[in-house]
Structure 1
Amino acid sequence: MGQLDEKVTLVTGGSTGIGLAIARRFAAEGATVYLTGRSKAEMDEAVRTVGERAVGIRSDVSDLDDLDRLFAQIRERSGRLDVVVANAGFGELARLGEITEEHYDKTFDTNGKGTLFTVQKALPLMSRGASVIVLSSTNASTGVRGMTTY
Structure 2
Amino acid sequence: MQDTRSDQNVLALVATALERDDGVDSQAGDAWLELELGRAVKAQKGLAGPAVLSRDDLSALGKRIARRLTREACKLLCGEAPEDKEDRKTLGLDDMTVIGAITAVLVSGLGIAPGIAAIVAALIFRRLAEPTLDELCQHWRDRLATVDALAQQ
TM-score normalised to the size of structure 1?
0.28
Q: Which has the higher strand share?
A: 1
Where relative contact order (Cα < 8 A, 6+ residues apart) is larger, the structure is 1
Q: Which has the higher helix share?
A: 2
Larger Rg, first or second structure (1 or 2): 2
TM-score normalised to the size of structure 2?
0.27
